Amino acid sequence: MLKRIQGFMKSIWPEFHNHKQNVHLDSFYTFTDYWYLWTMSIFILAVTALSPLCIQTFIHHQLIQKSANTEAILSAERLTSNAKRSIAFFMKERMDALIFTVNEMGYTKLTDNDKLAEILKNLKLGFGGLSDLSVIDEDGSMVSYAGQFKLEGKNYKCQPWFLHSLKKKYFISEVFTGYRDVPHIIIAVKSIKPDKSIFILRATLDTERLMKTLNSYKTNDYTDIFLINHNGALQTPSTNYGDVFKQTNLEISTYPTNTKVNMKSFQGIPVILGHSFISTDMVETPFILMVQKKKSGRMKTWVELYRKINWAMGISIVLIIIVISFASTFMINKLYHLEMAKAETMMQMEQSQQLASIGQLAAGVAHEINNPLAVINQTAGYLKDLYSFKDEPRNDVEIVDNIDSILDAVDRCGTITQQLLGFVRQFDIKIKKIRLQKIVSDVLSFHKKEAEYRGINVTVSIPDTIPDMETDSGKLQQILVNLINNAFQAVDEGCCLDIIGSQIDTKTIQLVIEDTGCGIPEENLKKIHEPFFSTKHDRMGTGLGLSITYGLVKKLGGNISVQSTEGVGTCFTITLPIKIQEGKLA
């Protein structure tokens, strides 16, 4: 599991974060600000991919909002209009019953209290919602009364409802308390006595019954249904605005024939407010039906949808970011690897160019020095001959010794110039089929005596399964001679030298030459392949051995690397192609 997480992190977290500075390679890098490249790549891809998603989600939200509002308004409109019809019907039914009673009974019967009580009883049975009935004369005095209140003999000529009733044929009053001190509504029908004077049949409506009818439309706590009069005073109790007669600040602008619904804000909460003027075909009522619904009550389904959309968007964003990070890291890693490989190649190219130009210079110098060296050599040789070949040899030991020193020095110069020329000569190769074991044992045979004498433990482990190589045997031999010579110079008595050969794949073999000698200090490790770099001043090193070896290995299409710890030992690893490809040789 942990490995999986690490693997995942590795594919998301680009490798340039672990970049190690290498002073030799730094100058060859084209891109340096990988952090910027990586973040910009993720940023641009993310913006491109996420913008449409965000815009789409935003549009979705808008659409949902719009749909939710429309739906809420429509539903409030339905509720308002249904409740209005119901209330209007409630009023009309009772008004019709009263008109029927007046026309059917006539003034005489109605003034009979017993008869009136019977009519009230029948009306209560048939319709309900009526609390008393009374007949009032033109002058406001009560003629007859049926009901529970003691109102006989009361005069209504100053009461507003009575004055209104006289003006209109049918009248429905607001809710008021009147003489009985209980909120009620009056329905009045104006009629004519046999003597042509006017009388009024008044019925009192029970507000309880009205409220019940209203409350039957109140399906949930979010809905508030109530009646107000044209001045905004409450006619039935409201959950939000208070009890009966309380003044509300609801603004009802016009007189609509139909139901009207608006979005409003009530105490900071968005609400849908519907209103409708209640009227019947015979009479207008002073009532306005109000329906106030909290928007949040309608929003439950929509909120659920919002949540789903938000979740979908969140998951999409996370997925997109992960995929984008994967892709960016993959690309940047590729770029980084290419860049590393390029820098490595450029460094190697520069190195080999350096080597080649140094080689040309060295060859020129070697050529020019060879001629005077030959003269010195022959002249000194002749001098020596003079002392040794004449009829009477003059055995002057000191002179002969000195001449020998000159000849030795010339020999050394000759070796150096030959090595320098070898440096140039390494650019030509001759391919032969060879066996690695044989080459190694040939080279080691030169050192057999030295190894025995110094007690150096040399082990060779090259499996027989390694196929024959097709390469330049002379150059391979020179590589081995140089490396084994170096190793012998680096080790002390009783140390070990291991030569291990192995096959890496079908095309490559690897040869490791490992010693437990003095090792190479870290600051020198980078310079060992440079021509003329030598620490063996006292042992006549030319500083060309390893740079020639380096060039030769490259020439054979291989690679050479070195690991060394000072005081512990050095390990040269050479990889070489089994079959040299001539086309690839420059």
Partner 1 sequence: MKQIDILIIDDEKKFAVMLAKRIELRGCTSRVCYDGRSALQWIKENRDPLDLILLDLQLPDLYGTKVLTEIKKIDPSIPVVILTGHGTEQDRKECEKLGAYMFMHKPPQIDEIITIIKQIKEQGAN
User: Between 58 and 427, whose beta carbon lies closer to partner 1?
Assistant: 427
Place of tokens 């044929």: 169
User: Between 346 and 406, whose beta carbon lies closer to partner 1?
Assistant: 406
Instruction: Indicate whether 370 belongs to the interface with partner 1 (CB under 8 A).
Output: yes
User: Between 361 and 568, whose beta carbon lies closer to partner 1?
Assistant: 361
Interface with partner 1 (CB under 8 A), residue total 25
Cβ proximity of 135 and 201 under 8 Å: yes
Residue 393 Cβ vs partner 1, minimum distance, rounded to whole Å: 12
Residue 377 Cβ vs partner 1, minimum distance, rounded to whole Å: 4
Q: Which two tokens stand for residue 258?
A: 């139909």
Cβ proximity of 154 and 142 under 8 Å: yes
User: Between 352 and 370, whose beta carbon lies closer to partner 1?
Assistant: 370
User: Between 385 and 492, whose beta carbon lies closer to partner 1?
Assistant: 385
Cβ proximity of 80 and 72 under 8 Å: no
Distance of alpha carbon 454 from alpha carbon 493, whole angstroms? 5
User: Between 260 and 425, whose beta carbon lies closer to partner 1?
Assistant: 425
Cβ proximity of 540 and 412 under 8 Å: yes
Cβ proximity of 512 and 498 under 8 Å: yes
Residue 446 Cβ vs partner 1, minimum distance, rounded to whole Å: 20
Cβ proximity of 302 and 70 under 8 Å: no
Instruction: Indicate whether 408 belongs to the interface with partner 1 (CB under 8 A).
Output: no
Instruction: Indicate whether 454 belongs to the interface with partner 1 (CB under 8 A).
Output: no
Name the percent of the chain in helix, strand, coil, to the closest 5: 50, 20, 25
Q: Which of residues 377-406 bind partner 1 (CB under 8 A)?
A: 377-379, 381-382, 385, 389
Query: What backbone torsions phi and psi does residue 268 show, to the nearest 5 degrees?
Result: 80, -5
Of 324, 334, 330, 331, residue with least CA distance to 42? 324
CB neighbour list of residue 149: distance below 8 Å, 6 or more residues apart:
132, 179, 180
Instruction: Indicate whether 350 belongs to the interface with partner 1 (CB under 8 A).
Output: no
Site string for partner 1, 179-218 (x = CB under 8 A): ----------------------------------------
Instruction: Indicate whether 415 belongs to the interface with partner 1 (CB under 8 A).
Output: no
Of the residues 299, 410, 576, 578, which one makes contact with partner 1 according to CB under 8 A: 410
Residue 429 Cβ vs partner 1, minimum distance, rounded to whole Å: 10
Of the residues 56, 418, 457, 581, which one makes contact with partner 1 according to CB under 8 A: 418
Instruction: Indicate whether 169 belongs to the interface with partner 1 (CB under 8 A).
Output: no
Q: Largest Cα–Cα distance of the chain, in whole Å?
A: 195
Instruction: Indicate whether 421 belongs to the interface with partner 1 (CB under 8 A).
Output: yes
User: Between 164 and 384, whose beta carbon lies closer to partner 1?
Assistant: 384
Of the residues 189, 373, 420, 443, which one makes contact with partner 1 according to CB under 8 A: 373
Of the residues 367, 394, 432, 526, which one makes contact with partner 1 according to CB under 8 A: 367
Q: Other C-beta atoms within 10 Å of 26: how many?
A: 10
Residue 406 Cβ vs partner 1, minimum distance, rounded to whole Å: 11
Q: Other C-beta atoms within 10 Å of 553: how many?
A: 22
User: Between 118 and 368, whose beta carbon lies closer to partner 1?
Assistant: 368
- Our CA angle for 419, 422, 425, nearest 5°, is 165
User: Between 196 and 430, whose beta carbon lies closer to partner 1?
Assistant: 430
Of 174, 211, 162, 204, residue with least CA distance to 187? 204
- Interface with partner 1 by CB under 8 A: which range of 210-218, 228-236, 375-383, 443-451? 375-383
Distance of alpha carbon 133 from alpha carbon 152, whole angstroms? 11
Say how far residue 382 (Cα) sits from the centre of its chain: 88
User: Between 220 and 389, whose beta carbon lies closer to partner 1?
Assistant: 389
CB neighbour list of residue 209: distance below 8 Å, 6 or more residues apart:
90, 128, 129
Of 186, 233, 179, 181, residue with least CA distance to 207? 186
Of the residues 44, 63, 192, 375, which one makes contact with partner 1 according to CB under 8 A: 375
User: Between 76 and 544, whose beta carbon lies closer to partner 1?
Assistant: 544
Interacting residue ranges for partner 1, rule: CB under 8 A? 367-368, 370-371, 373-379, 381-382, 385, 389, 410-411, 414, 417-418, 421, 424-425, 427-428
